[in-house]
Amino acid sequence: MARRYDPERRQRIIDAAIRVVGRSGIGGLSHRTVAAEADVPLGSTTYHFASLDELLVAALRQANEGFAAAVRKSGALVDPDADLAEELARVMGEWLGGERTGVELEYELYLAALRRPALRPVAAEWCEELAETLARRTDPVTARALVALMDGMCLQVLLTDARYEAEYAREMLARIIG
């Protein structure tokens, strides 16, 4: 029997894993649930991802792109005269005000690193890459503090169902920026 050439299969499996976690949480993730969601044979998931941790690493890498991409596209990083605190507060507000399931999914995968050591390097990469991006407009130490503050604010909004307050965020970010 000839093997079917399917160059997009690995990506479809990652996309399916993200949908499964978004719908059922990490506890609902298995090779079987992902194979069913991706409409691929079970063997395909284990061929491309020997363990669930490998699959979660790929899903986390992809999910982490949401907020980081929004920051990279922000005009404040290009324009040295733009108000960095204002722009970051705006980007956070747009991200948190967007499709909530995607934001929650990003954080669920990110926080899974607490219990799954294989995910920790990917979570750390996200923080480091975002800090490097922000360091274009400030120094590296301030950039790391900005990442920690934004991360904390986003978590508080998500965990408490609090309303995101852009003016408060702008003021706190401005204090760190100096």
Q: Report the percent of the chain where pLDDT is more than 70.
A: 97
Q: Would you state the pLDDT for residue 1?
A: 43
CATH architecture of 64-177: Orthogonal Bundle (1.10)
Per the prediction, the chain carries an average pLDDT of: 88
pLDDT tens digits for range 4-49 = 667 788 999 999 999 998 888 888 999 999 999 999 999 999 999 9
Q: Would you state the pLDDT for residue 71?
A: 79
Q: Which residue in the block uniquely carries the two structure tokens 């508080």? A: 156
CA 170, CA 57: separation in Å to the nearest integer? 32
pLDDT tens digits for range 53-97 = 999 889 888 887 777 777 778 776 778 888 999 999 999 999 888
Q: Would you state the pLDDT for residue 33?
A: 96
Higher pLDDT, 5 or 158: 158
CA distances from 21 to 51, 108, 127, 178 (A): 16, 8, 22, 39
Q: Would you state the pLDDT for residue 4?
A: 65
Mean pLDDT in residue range 94-120: 84
Q: Where are the domains of the chain?
A: 9-60, 64-177
pLDDT at 108 over 80: yes
* Candidate CATH numbers 3.40.50.150, 1.10.10.10, 3.40.109.10, 1.10.10.60; the one for domain 9-60: 1.10.10.60
Mean pLDDT in residue range 126-149: 93
Long-range contacts of 81-85 (CB under 8 A, 24+ apart): 84/137, 84/138, 84/173, 84/177, 85/170, 85/171, 85/173, 85/174, 85/177
